[in-house]
Structure 1
Amino acid sequence: MFALEKLSRAEKLRMMEALWRDLTADAAELPPSAWHDDALRHAEVEQAKGSAQMMDWAEAKSLLRRRAQS
C-alpha cells in the first residue's frame, strides 16, 4: 500500500478523476446523493431568477483545477 499523504495535490486530483471516471462508467447504477438533488434545485431556482452565472464546462474544470493547485 502507498502513503496517500506522500502524493502531490496534482497526483491526488488525477487519482480522484480516474476513480470518478471508473465510478461513473455505470452511472445508471450510481444513486444520486441528497445533497446533489438540493444543489440542482438551488441551481434551477437561481437560473429561473436570472442570477445564475453560467460557465462553459471546460472553463469550469480549468478554474477548479487552478483553485485546487493554489
Structure 2
Amino acid sequence: MSAEYNYRRDLGLAELLPAIAIGLGAGLAGFYLARVMAEKTPLVPRSNGTKSIARSEPPQPPRAAIKPAAR
C-alpha cells in the first residue's frame, strides 16, 4: 500500500454544475450538428440510380385543387 492515501470527498451541486452544463452543451451541439448534416441537400446527385431527395422543380398542386378564375 501507498504511504500516502487520499480520501475522496463528496462534491456539492455548485461544484458539479459547470461539468453538467458543459455536458449538456456538448450534447446539444452534437445533436444540432447531426440534424443539420442529416437535413442538408446533397451537393452531388446520387449515382446509384436511386431517386434523389432534392427536387429540380417545385411540387405542383393536385389538379382537383386548381379552380378556374372567377370573372
TM over 0.5: no
Q: Which structure's relative contact order is higher, taking Cα pairs within 8 Å and 6+ residues apart?
A: 1
TM-score by length of 1: 0.28
- The structure with the greater share of residues assigned to helix is 1
